[in-house]
Amino acid sequence: MDQNNVEKLPSNPIEAQGLLIKAVYKKFGVEVLPIIKNVCMKQGKSLGLKVKKKHPNNNLITVAKAFSKSFDQNFVKIISMSDEKFQINGTKCPFGLENTSRELCEAVMAIDHEYFREAVSDKVKLKILKTIAAGDPYCDTVYEIKS
């Protein structure tokens, strides 16, 4: 088989999940976004429960530090981390959602939002200030505890 004709394969399970998400979104459009979001929320909740079990002190800083170990430091920069706010910027989407749509990003980011809600508090709110899925030069996400 000619290597030049081979489609780029995913290098990890998250990239593979991103390929599936993008293919489903391309085929079914915005109507599939609630399904994608629902499944992503379940994934985030599952991950958040594992972190909560592993880290008895589940304040935002502790969970943010655990979360930070899961991403590639070459592409994600921590802007701020406190008991009230965790902000990060990223230059590459681990799901490969670059230049797709903001709505798709929001649906997939339900993973991270639910992760923090489950591991820290249901008062954690997610703000997506910028997203490369919508063509921004980088992602800017904020997790804040709101009363």
- Structural domain boundaries in the chain: 14-145
Which stretches does DSSP call E strand in the chain? 76-81, 85-90, 124-130, 139-145
Which among 37, 48, 140 has a CA at the least distance from the CA of 85?
Answer: 140
Q: What is the CATH number of domain 14-145?
A: 3.30.1380.20
Question: Could you tell me if 120 and 56 are in contact, meaning their C-beta atoms sit under 8 angstroms apart?
Answer: no
Q: pLDDT tens digit string along 55-83?
A: 878 899 999 999 998 888 889 999 999 99
Specify the pTM: 0.91
Q: Using one digit for the tens of pLDDT, what is the confidence trace for 90-136?
A: 999 999 999 999 999 999 999 999 999 999 999 999 999 999 999 99
Q: pLDDT, tens digit, for every residue of 2-37?
A: 555 567 899 999 999 999 999 999 999 999 999 999
Q: How far apart are CA 81 and CA 60, in angstroms?
A: 8
Phi and psi torsions of 52, nearest 5°: -60, -40
Rounded (10°) angle between helices 13-28 and 33-54: 160
